[in-house]
Structure 1
Amino acid sequence: MQDQKPFDEPMAIIEEEACAMARCFGVAVPEVAAASLVDRILLRLGGAHVYLPRRTAQKRQRMHQEMANRFNGTNLFELAKEYDISARHLRRILARSRVERP
């Protein structure tokens, strides 16, 4: 089992993931490729505050659509708990999905 990197080491996580991807693509020396990528990221973004969303907009939209499709009028709290969001937030998602539907 791999050591878990703490969330305060994002560059270590990026380097680890880059190394794994390099291995997947058959790169001869994945560690060097990963270190090079990290160096380039630091060169271009070093010192900047970068926000990394948990989901892409498309994934979020699919999840919202799934919630709307599963909502039956009586399961608001169950869905909110399942998707780990508040009932209020789920109501807003459902309201937006009703407006977007033709």
Structure 2
Amino acid sequence: MTSEPRQEQFGSSSELLKRLQERADDLDQLSIMVVNDLPMVGPKGQGLLAKNSCGVLKTCSGESIVINRNDLEILLNDGILQRMKIPISLVPREAR
């Protein structure tokens, strides 16, 4: 049964987890809406647009590695970031 999406507010992360556990057999997929072109600043301060990119891996040494949507899906679906205890943040477009 397909229905219009609705927004739910959860008071805490424990409430969200409780709700997900209650509906575990009914959950099919999580969709994260992304923009395929990532605005960036080049080495000389110029504005750049990384085409078909939507993720940035940041290293402890300060390097930023731009990854495309397909590679981001692989990282998230595989769970490697979680196993490595690397946090994931969703950054609003205007904050990039």
Give the TM-score normalised by structure 2.
Answer: 0.22
Query: In terms of Rg, which structure is larger?
Result: 1
The structure where strand makes up a greater share of residues is: 2
The structure where helix makes up a greater share of residues is: 1
